[in-house]
Structure 1
């Protein structure tokens, strides 16, 4: 099922990337075009002191200035109008939007996800119909190799997708699966499939069609389309879409190619000779060296391939979209941008002038990186909220084997967080809320998988800053997984309102405050098995 190489004559769907001269070059070589045209409109002067009395209240632009100055040095970005971002709410709304975009596709569809559910025949049919209707349409899919082949030789994500290549040919359809360089040798042979994902995954969720893209934390399976709550933002921006298409192209060139096969598994996984690096299973060190060379320029604001196609007048662009990524396992040294961007934003909130700001942080799997917890609890902000899944809304609730211990592990981590809040005297400023809509395994139950951050500035009702994407904000996200996100910084009142509605809507119906007293109850106690399992995973180099 796993072949070492495939001839260079095998077609690869590499979109050419045009530089300023019109010469086609690879994403890693096309640096900086259009970056100088980005127009920063957040002025520092509004925050300046007055010599004749107390300083006037800061304008929205003045309050945002300390954030964007450093963000411009951390990550590449585009300026767009706030109306170019649509906030979707429900799994059904996300699924219908995705199918509608696919049906209307003219040139390209590119999808990055952890996995596509092995029984997602409706989605596959939608892709087939679009490809049949438009002979020029091309499809590129990137998933994770561990998750995408876990059930093989039984039906799997890989066996679901391979027939697309058989029907439409490798000239039009490319299926790629990324394999972490951290799981090789004895680890790969002996760690059970159900938990080997703890050593690193392709975790990006990029759903691009032509010149629009949905960024989300949702994967492509039936629960994410029906009863697994996440977040979903649709960006109608050729610039943002093209950037993330380049990201997917780069990671695809570091991934296995999936081809149809006449075998029980239904597919074979090969490493093309013209990939950008040797296989991570054969030479992980050289793989990381080559991946660093490929990706470092793509995520740096100084060298990222940014070309502006937006026709919106510069003076109407009121929203910056920072393109932040976490590729720690592929970069040495690690120059990822997500954690530095979030670190800067939260450090800025620790300044006295942001004492009347507030933040809302959510993660379905509550295990924020220790540095992130420290930053959240060190801000000057008030009325802060953390939203996480109740054990009964955790997708692993009631699962057999080791994975069934995970809800208890996240409960233990949430309890530690609440204790830390109390130890710092922050009970009146920071609240933990658990999201629950039924109980997993019972009729009508939902699970919670949303993740993100919203920041509301002093004197405002709604957020001016939010981050959307795949990251779970854990130690694992910042060391093992591949993540792609957008940090939105906006002065657009309508977009601010919609971001505010999003964060309130996630809390209104299905959350309740959880206190230290709640965690002290008998039913909340975590057994020794959970603690031992957490310790073993950490000792073996994995992470939750």
Structure 2
């Protein structure tokens, strides 16, 4: 089950460039008064990453500031560079400045004690990693797929949505804290210890997986109660204003009454709306949590119903079969209507493995082959061809659409990491933003069963009496 946040008159905007992402983070870390929260796979050891850490040190409220940092244990402790630095080592200096600092390292329970001692660094990350990527400064948060390392802050194209909302920030912070309480803790001397009340996953991984499920479900339940209470208070406030004659309680918009998946509340009108739906994917838990997969399936099933255009962006395209079939149904339907479907992915030169040494040299080629196989499956639907033999014009349109369904990102010296889905029509825009890549990665083993991944679905709408105008969320 997902978490839905309805934000009226939202303060939200898209950050378009890595430098804008870096500058925004730097400003948030330097000016926050109450909390700073960082959750990502790892933090790099370069100058830009260290500059972000310095901005936290220079925060004048640092002694009273709560700083929570959550990283993946395998990636966060991997030594790099001539000095064998790691995420933990570059962060450890914060202990001398912050009054309330908590650095946590999540260990994926699929990497049990035996595998942990047998598989070397880098290779053990293929078993599964902590992939939550969110950055919070007070009530502002950035949903992204970027890690805090040099390329992500300089020349690696990603996507970032900045939202200011206390309930959303509090809720995401609760999820991060919950994961932290089920993780290893970093000491001031950079050593790591297990201080959780749960079973250590390196001692009994199966028990930990069961405990993880119960603990995360309990926290998600608390957040749902917070959302319900906040919604009730807002409705009561509007009703009170209406009873006092201060305003008119808006009615529902007739054109959306039949949309059972439309996440905006019916009592809102003449008001900009941003709906953020958060989903968690933890396939390693017992039982597994597949909220993200369910959310995406439900969203894609409604594309055909409402004839929306669908744009998918990912560093590589290697979809599970169920999504390939959904894309093919959408493609067959939209080809004869106004909508379109389009896939955007990295060109071989925009892949981070481009011209690398060893066997990884062939990874970009593998990505390209996988992408073309996906497009072939989606566009070559023989049943649809025979079904529309007598419809010459639609078939011509379908042939034309085939030529621009697949686009590759290429910018000299840049790599591409932007991941998301956009649904667009005349009435509203919806975007899925998360840190998971579309499909199962045959090279690093990142798939729905292994990772700990959050995802979000954003719907924006602005009701106006004359026409609907979209808020600047997806410019």
Listed as ranges, the matches of 1:87-486 within 5 Å are 87-119=14-46, 120-130=49-59, 132-151=60-79, 154-165=84-95, 167-168=96-97, 172-261=100-189, 267-272=190-195, 275-299=196-220, 303=224, 305-306=226-227, 308=230, 315=268, 316=271, 318-330=273-285, 332-351=286-305, 354-355=306-307, 357-379=308-330, 380-381=333-334, 382-424=339-381, 428-429=400-401, 431-438=405-412, 445-457=413-425, 459=426, 464-475=429-440, 476-486=446-456
- Aligned pair in 2 of structure 1 residues 399, 259: CA closer, same or farther (>3 Å)? farther
User: Could you tell me whether the CA contact under 8 Å between 2:324 and 2:377 is conserved in 1?
Assistant: no
User: Could you tell me whether the CA contact under 8 Å between 1:276 and 1:291 is conserved in 2?
Assistant: no
- Aligned pair in 2 of structure 1 residues 287, 402: CA closer, same or farther (>3 Å)? farther
Distance (Å, rounded) in 2 between the aligned partners of 1:473 and 1:294: 28
User: Could you tell me whether the CA contact under 8 Å between 1:109 and 1:140 is conserved in 2?
Assistant: yes
- Aligned pair in 2 of structure 1 residues 418, 317: CA closer, same or farther (>3 Å)? closer
User: Could you tell me whether the CA contact under 8 Å between 2:280 and 2:455 is conserved in 1?
Assistant: yes
Q: How far apart are 1:469 and its partner, in Å?
A: 2.1
Distance (Å, rounded) in 1 between the aligned partners of 2:288 and 2:323: 18
User: Could you tell me whether the CA contact under 8 Å between 1:455 and 1:464 is conserved in 2?
Assistant: yes
Q: How far apart are 1:85 and its partner, in Å?
A: 1.6
- Aligned pair in 2 of structure 1 residues 79, 303: CA closer, same or farther (>3 Å)? closer
Distance (Å, rounded) in 2 between the aligned partners of 1:365 and 1:422: 18
Distance (Å, rounded) in 2 between the aligned partners of 1:286 and 1:402: 37
Distance (Å, rounded) in 1 between the aligned partners of 2:276 and 2:414: 31
User: Could you tell me whether the CA contact under 8 Å between 1:177 and 1:252 is conserved in 2?
Assistant: yes
3-state secondary structure, aligned to 1:308: helix
Distance (Å, rounded) in 1 between the aligned partners of 2:210 and 2:469: 41
- Aligned pair in 2 of structure 1 residues 207, 489: CA closer, same or farther (>3 Å)? same
Distance (Å, rounded) in 1 between the aligned partners of 2:160 and 2:112: 34
Q: How far apart are 1:417 and its partner, in Å?
A: 1.1
User: Could you tell me whether the CA contact under 8 Å between 1:195 and 1:403 is conserved in 2?
Assistant: no
User: Could you tell me whether the CA contact under 8 Å between 2:325 and 2:378 is conserved in 1?
Assistant: no
Distance (Å, rounded) in 2 between the aligned partners of 1:122 and 1:495: 39
- For these two proteins, the number of residue pairs brought into alignment is 405
User: Could you tell me whether the CA contact under 8 Å between 1:465 and 1:488 is conserved in 2?
Assistant: yes
- Aligned pair in 2 of structure 1 residues 497, 383: CA closer, same or farther (>3 Å)? farther
2:249 corresponds to: none
Distance (Å, rounded) in 2 between the aligned partners of 1:500 and 1:249: 30
Distance (Å, rounded) in 2 between the aligned partners of 1:198 and 1:427: 40
User: Could you tell me whether the CA contact under 8 Å between 2:113 and 2:203 is conserved in 1?
Assistant: no
- Aligned pair in 2 of structure 1 residues 317, 102: CA closer, same or farther (>3 Å)? same
TM-score by length of 2: 0.79
Q: How far apart are 1:321 and its partner, in Å?
A: 1.4
Structure 1 unaligned residues grouped into runs of 5+: 1-73, 262-266, 439-444, 502-544
- 2:2 is aligned, of 75, 79, 89, to 75
- Aligned pair in 2 of structure 1 residues 452, 218: CA closer, same or farther (>3 Å)? same
Distance (Å, rounded) in 2 between the aligned partners of 1:327 and 1:259: 27
Q: How far apart are 1:412 and its partner, in Å?
A: 1.8
Q: How far apart are 1:467 and its partner, in Å?
A: 1.1
With 185-194 and 234-243 compared, the bigger mean Cα shift is at 185-194
Structure 2 unaligned residues grouped into runs of 5+: 239-266, 386-397, 441-445
Q: How far apart are 1:495 and its partner, in Å?
A: 7.7
Q: How far apart are 1:405 and its partner, in Å?
A: 3.2
3-state secondary structure, aligned to 1:122: helix
User: Could you tell me whether the CA contact under 8 Å between 2:130 and 2:453 is conserved in 1?
Assistant: yes
Distance (Å, rounded) in 2 between the aligned partners of 1:495 and 1:135: 44
- Aligned pair in 2 of structure 1 residues 96, 281: CA closer, same or farther (>3 Å)? same
Q: How far apart are 1:210 and its partner, in Å?
A: 0.8
Distance (Å, rounded) in 2 between the aligned partners of 1:134 and 1:150: 28
Q: How far apart are 1:434 and its partner, in Å?
A: 0.5
Distance (Å, rounded) in 2 between the aligned partners of 1:405 and 1:301: 47
User: Could you tell me whether the CA contact under 8 Å between 2:131 and 2:435 is conserved in 1?
Assistant: yes
